[in-house]
Amino acid sequence: MAPDTLGENSAKALPTRLPLPRQVASAIRSRIISREWEPGDQIPSEDELAKLFAVSRATVREAVSLLSVQGYLIKKRGIGTFVAQAQAISGGLESLISITEWIERHGYQAGTSYIDMKARVPTSNERTLFQAWDLEEVMEIHRVRTANGVPVLYCVDVMPKVFAPENPGQLDESLFQYLERKWGQVVIFAQTEIDVSQASRTMAHHLQVAQDTPLLRLRQAHFNQKSLPILWSQDHFVTDRFRFEVMRHRQ
């Protein structure tokens, strides 16, 4: 295998704004995220990695230490270094970010394994929520979001049909990004309710869990820069693959 172009003297090295150990760490992390190196796999030795990336052993050692701290690698003394088993994606609910960004912040590759779209007449509650848009129809979108190919949640999103994508191929990015790029609708805040639901037969099939498995559900109305509702979501999270944290302060 030819060495990657990361060497100290290589003209093709990654941008110099990143220290070389971080460049190497990024290259190793990419192999983990792409599943070239699976959880539990032993990665090459320091000498082999140094040759692979055309860098010194000290650079490799620092990169491996960084990835160990970040939870990607586990060092076993006297044995070697191994890819860590995937941990549940976690984060606080204080900040409103897209599911795509949430997944990618944890070093996983965000993806979508299932999409279904259908236009329909809005319910009375949806007419009230979206009354600013003078609705005739809404678009209901079902998606399964994945992290490194593993299903982590089932999303049901409803929006005014006028803002909906024309085909599933336009949903290769987060809905937040789509609404902003296509329509200039920037999601600023959301009103959120948290409860527990059970996996329906369809959800269970696509999430690869048993039917009636408890799922953590976030029901959210998302508002644009003019404080108008633009999106209604029900996100159903597999609890051992996605975890939430909330910072609470005593009054």
**CATH code (residue 35):** 1.10.10.10
Single pTM value for the model: 0.63
pLDDT at 222: 96
In order along its 251 residues, the chain shows pLDDT tens digits of 444 545 444 333 333 346 888 889 888 977 886 778 888 899 999 999 999 999 999 999 999 998 887 667 888 888 999 988 765 555 656 667 778 887 877 777 888 888 999 999 999 999 999 999 988 999 999 999 988 888 899 999 999 999 998 888 777 778 888 899 889 999 999 999 999 999 999 999 999 888 999 999 999 999 999 999 999 999 999 987 777 766 666 66
64, 83, 102: which is the final residue of a domain?
83
pLDDT at 8: 46
**CATH code (residue 100):** 3.40.1410.10
66, 83, 100: which is the final residue of a domain?
83
Count of C-beta atoms within a 10 Å radius of residue 155: 20
Q: What is the H or E stretch that residue 62 is in?
A: helix 57-69
Round to whole Å and give the CA distance between 95 and 225: 16
Q: Which runs of E-coded beta strand occur in 121-184?
A: 138-147, 150-160
pLDDT at 205: 92
Strand partners, 158: 140, 232
DSSP one-letter code for 95 = S
Residues 189 and 212 grouped into a single domain: yes
With respect to residue 10, please indicate whether it lies within any of the assigned structural domains: no
What is the sign, positive or negative, of the torsion defined by CA atoms of 112, 200, 222, 119?
A: positive
Residues 64 and 144 grouped into a single domain: no
pLDDT at 17: 46
Residues 66 and 128 grouped into a single domain: no
Burial 5-28 (b: 16+ CB within 10 A, else e): ebbeeeeebbeeeeebbbbbbebb
Say if residues 44 and 50 touch (Cβ distance below 8 Å): no
Six token digits for residue 177: 């990004």
Round to whole Å and give the CA distance between 85 and 71: 9
pLDDT at 170: 76
pLDDT at 247: 66
Domain count of the chain?
2
Give the residue from 221, 222, 140, 234 showing the smallest Cα distance to 188: 222
Residues 49 and 144 grouped into a single domain: no
Strand partners, 214: 198
Round to whole Å and give the CA distance between 138 and 95: 27
Residues 191 and 239 grouped into a single domain: yes
Which residues span the domain enclosing 71? Answer: 20-83
Residues 60 and 118 grouped into a single domain: no
Residues ≥6 apart with Cβ < 8 Å to 64: 25, 28, 46, 49, 73, 75, 81
User: Strand, helix or coil at 118?
Assistant: strand
Say if residues 237 and 216 touch (Cβ distance below 8 Å): yes
List Cα–Cα distances, 40 to 81, 82, 85, 150, in angstroms: 9, 6, 6, 16
